[in-house]
Structure 1
């Protein structure tokens, strides 16, 4: 497994309950600002194996990219509030890893 993939997995595993990150935010923090699609692919292919909290990853508009409401329900259980347009306030709920994240 390459260093970027390891960082993406560690970052997703580190998102605290009640907080979210965007695909692009994870990519940028892991060292590839244009790697949002790769983050999506890694999340899809490795969530089960690495027990990733997949539900805490949303798109840059603060929306859920998947169809269905399971992800929204899981986030609401953790205290994340969606507005009337089914968006998450990223200013309030987005988790930003510390600069020294390893």
Structure 2
């Protein structure tokens, strides 16, 4: 699938990015995977590499379903992420007055 590359040119996605985005699209509504979960499931890269793919190419997939390991919404995207979590019924918990995804209940194992 053609996508905009980092330089702004249309081109093919790198295979790792394609794998990350394909998996992200398969995460069911109301469920999440951490950046590390995605890397482990794909069998390559790590949380930072997955985060980079999401930052560059994740706008067209349900990006809010790939989260940090502490369950906090992505900085500067909290309101949009929380709105999506509420619509999808993603389990949330309150930590010091801050909403976080309840990973024990929301984490998806890819099956």
TM-score range, shorter chain: 0.7 to 0.9
SS state of the match for residue 19, structure 1?
coil
Name the CA distance, whole Å, in 1 between partners of 2:34 and 2:25. 14
Q: How many residues align?
A: 95
Structure-2 residue corresponding to 1:91: 104
Between structure 1 and structure 2, the one with the greater Rg is: 2
Q: Which protein, 1 or 2, shows the higher relative CO under an 8 Å CA cutoff with sep ≥ 6? A: 1
Richer in strand (by share)? 2
Q: Structure 1 stretches of 5 or more lacking a match?
A: none
Q: TM-score, normalised to structure 1's length?
A: 0.82
Q: Structure 2 stretches of 5 or more lacking a match?
A: 1-12
**Please, what is the CA RMSD of the aligned residues?**
1.6
Name the CA distance, whole Å, in 2 between partners of 1:70 and 1:2. 27
